[in-house]
Amino acid sequence: MQDHPQSALSADRRRRELVDLGDSADVDVLVIGGGITGVGTALDAASRGLRTVLVDKHDLAFGTSRWSSKLAHGGLRYLASGNVGIARESAVERGILMTRTAPHLVRALPQLVPLLPSVGRFANALVRTGFLAGDALRVTARTPASVLPRSRRVDAEKAARLAPAVRREGLRGGLLAYDGQLIDDARLVVALARTAAAHSATILTRVGAYDVTGDSARLRDELTGEELTIRARAVVNAAGVWAGQVDPDIRLKPSRGTHLVLPAELLGNPTAALTVPIPGETNRFVFALPAQLGRVYLGLTDEAVDGAIPDVPVASDGEVDFLLDTVNTALATPLSRSDVLGTFAGLRPLLDSGEGKTSDLSRNHAVLRSSNGVVSVVGGKLTTYRKMAQDAVDAAIAAGELTARACVTTNLPAVGADRTAPRSLPPSLVARYGSEAGIVADAGDLTPIADGIDVTHAELAFAVSHEGALDVDDLLDRRTRIGLVPGDRERALPAAERALNGS
């Protein structure tokens, strides 16, 4: 694949574009927030021919978008709660991601519910019915079985092969279904931001938006403290759980979701997500998800959160115990706290609809126009970012009385998604960069940056030259996910520092 310099984000480009903006700060659409919603919105707007600027106070994927379970959901859980519309929307958007937008970053993940004595006949029938409904959703969304195989029952031997740590005693087999799994959520955010940049959007990290109105904002370069006022025909607030700070008309009821990071080896290097029913609840499960870098993510919780929104949420002891206790009901050898390599927690930007448990609040998204004209896009989920973005840009076009082309994002591949076969390269590189793997390989040395961490020096160099990484946190916590394990982060630090110095 050829390198497309237009999609490359770097410190130099950021500096240049900030100077240009100081000279002429008049744009069609200003997008506030560089999570999945904001980058999707910037891509939608730019690809319709609108002059678009996106700002993030911190970094791309700094907020909730890097703390997800990294699944492209088919919407089954919404079907179970009677939300047919949102379930269908999820299934359609999952299909678009897996076949057109980012097939290189999303794979089919087998999810296994082990049939242990704790799963009685009724629960078995319920899960099986749910999986069949999931198959039907996939078919109505026109996602072929070659992309996501249909669900089925497997025998005990196969179940144990897929999830070797599962308890064998009383194991009758397993129910297997498939969903989409991202290699990493932050990686999708960065790929979409670069695709937006290739369509002439200006993408600026470490730039906060303040005093936001429907046609202007004060932008501050958080690195230098310099400020400028930008005028925009429409302003889209995609600030996630911080949306209420940008537009006080927005009321959210955040809920925290926590995952633990475990060594995959300890769970026998599973190839399926072990899906364990939460005792005493119907239709809620804990998942042990096989992940990159030899890890398993164990999630997830749902805890209402009050008070100030932290920059980086922290898991509680109670959540750690709950996750371990639940997964242990299905394991041959129980896990303990000393097995946990790291934890990560994120806040769901749920709309406040009054009363109710946060787990019951709708995951639907909303596009709201506030009294001062700001268009806010809130709620939703990673899987449906494209539709959220389309709705937000439609609202921005109406708000700013803009003239624009129709939305094209259902057929717009992200960088790395084209079908060019990369030359023979390490599979981990192809899984993370798709058809851009060759360009990454040319960016530097293909040796791992530290023992047991399969991230290469070339990847860090590429993150600096093409993915807008400005410091070691960007490199270790977002462009790569080494930082999810504090011990690995420490060992990777010298390589990250060298990559930033260009040595």
Binding site for ligand FAD (CB under 6 A): 32-38, 55-58, 62-65, 67-71, 73, 208-209, 238-242, 246, 257, 300, 346-349, 380-383
Nearest distance, CB of residue 473 and ligand FAD, angstroms: 13
Q: What's the rounded Cα separation, in Å, for the pair 50 and 58? A: 24
Closer by beta carbon to ligand FAD, 67 or else 131: 67
Query: What is the C-alpha separation between 149 and 145, in angstroms, rounded?
Result: 4
Helix 457-466 vs helix 486-501: angle between axes, to the nearest 10 degrees?
60
CB of 490 to ligand FAD, least distance (A): 25
Residues 6+ apart with CB under 8 A from 205: 14, 34, 55, 56, 58, 59, 60, 468, 470, 474
Choice between 53 and 71, CB closer to ligand FAD: 71
Q: Which is nearer to ligand FAD, 27 or 453 (CB)?
A: 27
345 phi/psi in degrees, rounded to 5: -140, 145
In the complex, minimum distance from the CB of residue 439 to ligand FAD, in angstroms, rounded to a whole number: 26
> Phi, psi (5° rounding) for residue 77?
-65, -30
Separation of alpha carbons 96 and 124, rounded Å: 31
CB-nearer residue toward ligand FAD: 349 or 422 = 349
DSSP state of 339: G
Q: Which two tokens stand for residue 43?
A: 């891509």
Q: How far is CA 328 from CA 102, 277, 278, 332, in A?
A: 35, 11, 11, 8
| Residue closer to ligand FAD (CB basis): 435 or 480 | 480
| Least distance from ligand FAD to the Cβ atom of residue 94, Å | 9
Between 306 and 401, name the residue whose CB sits nearer to ligand FAD.
306
Both tokens assigned to 356 = 């109710």
Closest to ligand FAD by CB, 151 vs 364, is: 364
Angle at 458 between CA 453 and CA 463, to 5 degrees: 95
Judged by beta carbon, residue 55 or residue 148, the one nearer ligand FAD is: 55
Residue 241 beta carbon to ligand FAD: minimum distance, rounded to whole angstroms: 6
Q: How far is the CB of 151 from ligand FAD (least distance, A)?
A: 19
Q: How far apart are CA 165 and CA 330, in angstroms?
A: 8
Residue (of 76, 315, 316) closest to 179 by Cα position: 76
Tokens of 81: 């709660």
Tokens of 194: 């670069």
Smallest separation, CB 63 to ligand FAD (Å): 2
Shorter beta-carbon distance to ligand FAD: residue 58 or 199? 58
Nearer to ligand FAD, 40 or 416 (CB): 40
Q: What angle do the packed helices 36-47 and 385-399 form, to 10 degrees?
A: 60
Closest CB 420 distance from ligand FAD, rounded Å = 28
432, 184 contact by CB (below 8 A): yes
Q: Which of 52, 70, 142 is nearest to 389 (CA)?
A: 52
Q: Can you tell me whether residue 380 is helix, strand or coil?
A: coil
CB of 235 to ligand FAD, least distance (A): 11
Strands (DSSP E) along 316-446, which ranges?
A: 342-348, 365-369, 375-379
Q: How far is the CB of 367 from ligand FAD (least distance, A)?
A: 12
**63 or 438, CB closer to ligand FAD?**
63
Strands (E) in 157-206, as ranges, are 174-182, 202-205
The distance of closest approach from Cβ of residue 462 to ligand FAD in the complex, given in angstroms and rounded to an integer, is 21
Tell me the closest approach of the beta carbon of residue 27 to ligand FAD, in angstroms. Answer: 15
Cα 217 to Cα 25, 98, 116, 242, 435: the distances in Å are 10, 36, 57, 16, 38
Q: Backbone phi, then psi, for 116, in 5-degree steps?
A: -100, 165
Our CB check for ligand FAD shows the closer of 94 and 104 to be 94
